[in-house]
Amino acid sequence: MSRRSFPCRATGGELRDLEQPGYYPGYSTLAQKKSWEEATRKTVTERVEKTAPIRFFSQEEAALLGAVVDRVMPQDDRAEDRTIPVLSVIDERLYKNSLNGFRYEDMPPDQEAYRLAIRAIDEMAQSRFKESFTDLTVHRQELILKSLHDGKPEPDNAVWHRMPLHRFWALLMEDCATAYYSHPWAWDEIGFGGPAYPRGYMRLENGLPEPWEKDEQRYEWNEPIDSLSQLEDSH
């Protein structure tokens, strides 16, 4: 999967390959794993060390959804070997049919929803830009995804009449967020304390860091200036 497709302009210089983005340089939750108990240590280290093979999606589906995920949860600022696997986590969930306990009455099962959406996104790319979604420039990929995010698919596709778009978008976002923010490297990025048992916290107030946490060191971080996925009010 090609990721590094952005012109990568960010305020204060280029988007660099970072070991660790975020405002907590040098902070590592994994470095604390000695103070976690056995069961948690096993769960979290396996998450870092093992990436599940793609078993549910076909190769083409995986390529397309991979390109989607790269824009929905972009990691262009992360060094190649510090990329957090997202696609394989989604694939594993669908392969194992690990449900979240419910399905909206107007939605097909999750597996079918993803297959339908992948088809729809590719058709949208073909009809709007005469190219496969995976071959589009990042900007064009974002144009299509932004239209899905906004709930106004451009161009429209029959799939979105069978399946409510906002529900699929929510499903995709939940899956991506779960994969990314359950990874210890993401915890380092956002300054989350990570697992905490048997050792808990002692500095509860005023945002004080625990002895093993780092204090925040803010600098001006900006997403690529020409990205369509920035927050409306962020500039």
Q: Which of 66, 180, 185, 188 binds another protein (CB under 8 A)?
A: 180
Structure tokens, 131: 């190219």
> Residues 103-142 vs another protein: string with x where CB under 8 A?
xxxx-----------------------------------x
By CB under 8 A, how many residues form the interface with another protein? 72
155/221 with CB nearer another protein: 221
Minimum CB separation of residue 81 from another protein in Å reads 19
Minimum CB separation of residue 25 from another protein in Å reads 13
DSSP per residue, 169-217? HHHHHHHHHHHHHTSHHHHHHHT-----SBS--S--STTPPPTTS----
- Of 56-64, 70-78, 80-88, 117-125, the window that binds another protein (rule: CB under 8 A) is 70-78
DSSP state of 91: H
Q: Which of 145, 159, 163, 165 binds another protein (CB under 8 A)?
A: 145
- Of 48-56, 80-88, 120-128, 207-215, the window that binds another protein (rule: CB under 8 A) is 207-215
Q: Determine which helix (DSSP H) or strand (DSSP E) holds 13, and give its type and residue range.
A: strand 13-14
How far is 196 from 33, CA to CA, in rounded Å?
A: 10
Contact indicator for 142, 71 with CB cutoff of 8 Å: yes
